[in-house]
Amino acid sequence: MRASKVSKKKLNEAELQRLFGKRIQYFRKQQNLTQQKLVERANLSGANYLSEIERGRRSPRFDLLLRIANALDVDVYQFLKVDDEDVDMISKDIARQRVAALDERINKNMDDVKKLKADVEKFLKILGSK
């Protein structure tokens, strides 16, 4: 991650949580650590917990945050700083997730429409045979 100007844009809690997780993952990968190895170094409860943090689905307590930072040999503030590049990355990530969710809903709705069409065609056949 290159140094850049601190962003004046505001992220909501979910966006910050996602950014925080991506930063932990970045520093972990920079040191070629597996999630399991970082879990052991930081004395966390398990790789699943760390995975949830890295995906932005959970936020660690402050004491765990300190242990993760110490295990990665980074200052805690490096997890928390937000610059314009980060805001853009998170915004694009969220946009991709929303598009995927919409695609899923459209596909489900199309399946429902096809079923409805088939039912109407059956009904019309029944009416036509009378």
- 12-49 pLDDT, tens digit per residue, is 778 778 888 888 998 999 999 999 999 999 999 888 99
Mean pLDDT of 76-102: 70
- The pLDDT-based confidence of 87 (bands split at 50, 70, 90) is low
At 76, the amino acid letter reads V
17/92 Cα distance (integer angstroms): 15
Q: Please give the residue that has the higher pLDDT: either 127 or 68.
A: 68
Mean pLDDT of 88-115: 75
Domain boundaries, the chain: 12-81, 83-130
Q: Give the residues across from 6 on adjacent strands.
A: 83
- Widest Cα–Cα separation across the chain: 80
Is the distance from CB of 35 to CB of 28 less than 8 angstroms? yes
Residues contacting residue 116 through CB under 8 Å, at least 6 positions apart: none
Is the distance from CB of 50 to CB of 35 less than 8 angstroms? yes
Q: What phi-psi label fits residue 43: left (phi over 0), alpha (psi between -120 and 50 degrees) or beta?
A: left
At 129, the amino acid letter reads S
Q: What is the CATH number of domain 12-81?
A: 1.10.260.40
For residue 82, the number of C-alpha atoms closer than 13 Å in the C-beta half-sphere is: 19
- Taking each helix axis from N to C terminus, what angle separates 47-54 and 13-30, rounded to the nearest 10 degrees? 120
Residue 126 pLDDT: 83
